[in-house]
Amino acid sequence: MFQGWIQIALTLLIVVAITPFLGGYMARVYLGERTLLDPVLNPVERILFKLSGVQTRENMTGWQYIKAVLYSNLVMALLLTFILFSQGWLPFNPTALSEPTWDTVLHTVISFITNTDQQHYSGETTYGYFAQFAGLGYMLFVSAATGLAVGIAFIRGLTGRPLGNFYVDLTQSITRILLPIGIIGTILFIAGGVPETLTGPAIVPTLENPAISQAIARGPVAHFEILKQIGENGGGFFAVNSAHPFENPSPFTNLIQTVGMVMIPSSFIYTYGVIANNRKQAWLVYGMVLTISIVFIIFNGISEYNGNPAVNALLGGQVPNLEGKEVRFGWAQSALFSVITTGTMTGAVNSFHDSFMPTGGFVMMSNMFLQIIWGGQGTGTAYLFAYLILAVFVTGLMVGRTPEFLGRKIEKREVVLAGFLILLVHPIAILIPGAIAMSLPSAPDGVTAQGFYNGITNPSFHGLTQVLYEYASAAANNGSGFGGLLTSQPAPSALWWNLSASFSLLAGRYVPIVALLLLADSMSRKQPVPMTSGTLRTDTGLFTGITAGVILIMGALTFFPVLALGPIAEAFQIAKGIG
């Protein structure tokens, strides 16, 4: 037991130690200050900007930034659509895989362009090498960089600066942040045993009967793997994601994956502190998020270590819940990974989330409902400070002080945008399609035609959690799966899940981006006001605690009813079953 908790503690200490270095580096990148990579990357970026016609010194307004995000993402999506529909005649397709169905392609394209990477397919049997590394791998870069660009534009606006230029932010997010870390991570993964090859599947004899051969899938996995982690993409090269021994062979690679998921979003809070010239507030907010994350990890870890009461009663003793987990990681690293991947909106999995105890389901869904522990790539920090704006407004009303943030008044427009972003969009993208899915019929036995069927395989409360998790994962741009739903072709219900999840993916990505950028644009245009005795300070421990309360109360008010009907009710059901 103690060994598992020590592993968790050491992993978190590594993340905290990285934060000021990476956060400070990202701040220098986005502030245009000198970095160690300038001699190498400056000439490369000048060529890219010259060829694309980007005016690097031209700042965009809120709507210009929004249009640049939407137009560029549309072009990227069309390019990926072409690649996936054309994979039958594209090179590096050693198993001669044909084009997937149109609804699978639609869902895949929307999923990867929104930085979600929710997969309703098995990678090794659906997409060839070219489609994986040139199509999906390309999206691992640009979708993550889009989130970073939006996040830094929000921080600039919040601190009274112009929003910047989206194309410059997008390019530098790739060349200065994702690419260098990706190269180092790829080397470490290859050294750790992750394959990186264009050779087809290995044909080897089986252990049971040497006369019978089996095909072992492989491919250009190592670079794909590090990008899926550091970019908070999460989409696996293989169907079982980071539980596959070629994606995640050992505790060493698992450590890299866990740290890789959280290093950029956690450091981005420190980046805010540098740009806002208020490191104290950054560390306070960082501590708040870290504390909530640790509480979730402890709850999940204790639950998994104590195991399933029904199983313990049968065995006559307490054993950890190892169902659906890889023995090379055990209960501790599985519990930590599940909290980090749903908290950072990465969505990679090294264990079967469907097999976790109800406490695990509660924690993982709560992460995706709140979206700020640690949140999406770049956008998670923006969400976090949108909560701070609401906390400033609510606290100002209660104590009769002027609602201001960083010397700028919080008025109706800011409150409406922040409230719309947090309290309206996310629930709509989850609860409405979830309610519809629960009302759909199951496909009758023997039916193969595609239609609107629910595809639910779990009964009772667990079945409800199964459905809500799918839409929460899509709307939060997380992408992890709870497991069990019949979402992949040729299941008759695959059409419904591909189309309905696509709605949640789009609503959960682009509506918040528009609201965040409009909020940042509004803040950037406000004239700073001098601090007075009536100004509410936001860089204190007391206000940070109030913000944590606002976050948890708003999340509870919005989503607690469905949590009560899902994992909480299931926990009582299990307890009653052995009572």
What is the model's pLDDT at position 271?
Answer: 96
Question: Which carries the bigger pLDDT value, residue 446 or residue 392?
Answer: 392
pLDDT at 386 over 80: yes
Mean pLDDT value of segment 292-304: 95
**Residue 427 phi/psi, 5° resolution?**
-60, -40
* Element at 336 (helix H, strand E): helix 330-343
Average pLDDT over residues 257-284: 95
Q: Which of 287, 261, 267, 275 is nearest to 22 (CA)?
A: 267
Q: Could you give the CA distance from residue 165 to residue 60 in angstroms, rounded to a whole number?
A: 6
Bridge partners (DSSP) of residue 202 are 216
Q: What is the mean pLDDT of the chain?
A: 91
Other Cβ atoms within 10 Å of 452 Cβ, number: 16
The answer to whether 407 touches 528, Cβ cutoff 8 Å, is yes
- The pLDDT confidence band at residue 579, using thresholds 50, 70 and 90, is very low
Using a pLDDT cut of 70, give the percent of the chain over it: 98
Rounded Cα distance between 207 and 358, Å, is 37
Question: At 501, which amino acid appears?
Answer: A
Token output for 224: 């794909």
Residue 203 pairs in a beta bridge with: 215
pLDDT of residue 251: 94
**What are 363-378's pLDDT values in tens digits?**
999 999 999 899 888 8
pLDDT in tens, 42-55: 999 999 998 888 88
What ranges in 344-482 are assigned the alpha helix state H?
358-370, 379-399, 412-420, 426-439, 460-475
Report the pLDDT value the prediction gives residue 578, as an integer from 0 to 100.
53
pLDDT at 534: 65
The pLDDT confidence band at residue 383, using thresholds 50, 70 and 90, is confident
Q: Where are the domains of the chain?
A: 2-203+215-277
Q: What is the pLDDT of residues 191-226, one digit of tens each?
A: 999 999 999 999 998 888 888 888 899 999 999 999
Angstrom distance (rounded) from CA 456 to CA 436: 13
Of the pLDDT bands very low, low, confident and very high (cuts 50, 70, 90), residue 558 is confident
Q: Give the integer Cα–Cα distance in Å for 132 and 123.
A: 8
Count of beta carbons in the 10 Å neighbourhood of residue 40: 10
Check if the beta carbon of residue 349 is closer than 8 Å to that of residue 242. Answer: yes
Quick one: pLDDT at residue 114? 96
Query: What is the DSSP-derived secondary structure letter of residue 99?
Result: P
Please write the tens of the pLDDT for every residue from 427-465.
999 999 999 999 999 888 778 788 899 889 888 899 999
Higher pLDDT, 410 or 165: 165
Percent of the chain, pLDDT > 90?
A: 66
Residue showing tokens 């993916």? 505
Q: How confident is the model at residue 533 (pLDDT cuts 50, 70, 90)?
A: low
All residues at 6 or more sequence positions from 515 whose CB lies less than 8 Å from its CB, including other chains: 417, 420, 421, 425
Q: What is the pLDDT of residue 1?
A: 72
pLDDT for the residue numbered 137? 94
**pLDDT tens by residue, 345-357:** 999 999 999 999 9
Look at residue 88 in the predicted model and tell me its pLDDT.
87
